[in-house]
Structure 1
């Protein structure tokens, strides 16, 4: 039987971190980078993975530009295309480029690992012939150079079919689960990813904008009394809206939020990184997405509106 191939589209923090760990376990991985310069550096020197308390290690990896990825690999129905780019990159032009790459021509499964909401519906409309999976992760990573990434927080990688489906014993997703476990990645399957996306959105809607506005790593949010109150207020408003939109209440969501802050204490949120670099942020799909849900269900969202405007004032978004 052919080995499963994983093509990771997007060589940012999560793309590099997962590619290194998978490649280190012997999985067949290729990275599709945004430009040839980064791709060439990755081919020449691999990925350097840094982790607190451990000596950094370098992992060889195949890499190319997205335009050329189909020539390097021709994934089939047992293979996976992971999208680890940000929501702001999922434009119509990007979708066209992905289609023209040929990566999806033979029925490979498409796994989306974006923050916020709205991306799954867009991907489904663009690629209706390919099995579609949603994924969320509570792990942290920070890209420090084109070929270097710091693993900043342990967590869980959760994935499952989109839209919601009963477990059907699909061998492809079970093969991926085994591959993730072999790489030391804590992973689980879910048959209700819509709910998992909402639960992750609740976490992102608090941590990402507040760290971006205050210019701080995740851990300080939970330590400072004033910031902790800002967190509590934004969490309460966001949770109320998401519950109205259909999120299932799952125990102590406030406690889980604080736990994520502690687990990723030294992590710089992707939104803070984008603000520092003057890039577009994902605010429209995170807090802006919650504000849109509030309007749909006749609720008010003053805090989500406020942080959306504040982040936009700091960035290009």
Structure 2
């Protein structure tokens, strides 16, 4: 299968690398520092079970997606529309666009920009870029994808490549479940610059998480979302299974980049306002992260 990865950060490099390692024709589209390193030395896929350099094509230009049957759409939620516009002239008409992003509304936003089939996916992986062209996998790696005409075939390809994958009729609920995990951990990990395992041992943190989760669940119910599984158990499991992982928001703030907080706690605040559900804990976390971001930009300027 010919696969293009739009947004070759940690998530894109991990899943693209796994597919390339399995023999698929993969191109990673990302920033120059990673593209240059991958072209020179291959992608270093540093996982819990192996550490290998995988030969894979890489480009900084969206035209590299031409002819791809599958596009893993992995850009930040803040860049969804702009990246879609870059891709649009180059996409094959029968391509499946699979969104591997944080947040719950990216598939809808993509469908407003693209004629191709779009399927949402929920991503459960702990990974980070340890250096140019070097993805460090810290745990998990499952995908849950919504049904489409190509989902069965894509799921088989992913499973054969070592990526546990299931198809679900309730991806909306699963996306909300993932959003709740992100809302519980991302901002706090970012503000404290602590990994999950250490974060939950700090005084008052689990109490704040409990408040955040309760607000998220209330907003989801008001939006008539059916959240699968035990939310509280899932929140506890993150700290147990991803002890050394820093949130993507923490990584963004550490690098002086704009985070996705508007699409995480900020999204819950906006939906809560529409539905008449109070979200003070999410509002405070959203505001604090935005303050850190604005201070970083002011300092850089």
The reply to whether TM is greater than 0.5 is: yes
Q: In the alignment, which residue of structure 2 is the partner of 1:228? A: 206
Q: How far does residue 56 in structure 1 lie from its aligned partner after superposition?
A: 2.0
SS state at 2:146 partner: strand
Question: What number of residue pairs does the alignment pair up?
Answer: 295
Are the equivalent residues in 2 in contact too, given 1:221–1:231 (CA < 8 A)? no
Q: In the alignment, which residue of structure 1 is the partner of 2:59? A: 64
Cα RMSD (Å): 1.8
Q: How far does residue 233 in structure 1 lie from its aligned partner after superposition?
A: 1.6
For 2:93 and 2:81, how far apart are their aligned partners in 1?
23
Q: From the superposition, tell whether residues 12 and 153 of structure 1 become closer, same or farther in structure 2 (CA, over 3 Å).
A: same
Unaligned ranges ≥5, structure 1: 162-167
For 1:160 and 1:198, how far apart are their aligned partners in 2?
14
Are the equivalent residues in 1 in contact too, given 2:2–2:67 (CA < 8 A)? no
For 2:228 and 2:173, how far apart are their aligned partners in 1?
10
User: Which whole-Å deviations, capped at 9, do the CAs of 1:248-306 have from their partners, x for residues lacking one?
Assistant: 14342111111122211111110000111111111111111001111111111111110
Aligned pair partner of 1:204 in 182, 185, 188: 182
Are the equivalent residues in 2 in contact too, given 1:177–1:188 (CA < 8 A)? yes
Q: How far does residue 55 in structure 1 lie from its aligned partner after superposition?
A: 5.1
SS state at 2:136 partner: strand
Aligned pair partner of 1:49 in 30, 45, 61: 45
For 1:34 and 1:89, how far apart are their aligned partners in 2?
14
1:90 aligns with 2:71: no
User: Which whole-Å deviations, capped at 9, do the CAs of 1:111-132 have from their partners, x for residues lacking one?
Assistant: 11111133222211101x2111
1:139 aligns with 2:125: yes
Are the equivalent residues in 2 in contact too, given 1:217–1:268 (CA < 8 A)? yes
Aligned pair partner of 1:121 in 105, 108, 112: 108
For 1:250 and 1:135, how far apart are their aligned partners in 2?
15
SS state at 1:223 partner: coil
1:20 aligns with 2:9: no
User: Which whole-Å deviations, capped at 9, do the CAs of 1:6-51 have from their partners, x for residues lacking one?
Assistant: 111111111111122111122221111233x532321221111223
For 2:235 and 2:269, how far apart are their aligned partners in 1?
20
For 1:174 and 1:44, how far apart are their aligned partners in 2?
35
SS state at 2:29 partner: strand
Q: From the superposition, tell whether residues 251 and 12 of structure 1 become closer, same or farther in structure 2 (CA, over 3 Å).
A: closer
Q: From the superposition, tell whether residues 55 and 297 of structure 1 become closer, same or farther in structure 2 (CA, over 3 Å).
A: closer
Q: In the alignment, which residue of structure 2 is the partner of 1:151? A: 137
When normalised by structure 2's length, the TM-score is: 0.92
Are the equivalent residues in 2 in contact too, given 1:209–1:307 (CA < 8 A)? yes
User: Which whole-Å deviations, capped at 9, do the CAs of 1:72-109 have from their partners, x for residues lacking one?
Assistant: x423xxx11111111122244x3321113x1x242211
For 1:177 and 1:249, how far apart are their aligned partners in 2?
22
Q: How far does residue 155 in structure 1 lie from its aligned partner after superposition?
A: 4.1
Unaligned ranges ≥5, structure 2: none
Superposed, 1:284-303 pairs within 5 Å as 284-303=262-281
User: Which whole-Å deviations, capped at 9, do the CAs of 1:209-268 have from their partners, x for residues lacking one?
Assistant: 111111111122333352111211211121111121122143421111111222111111
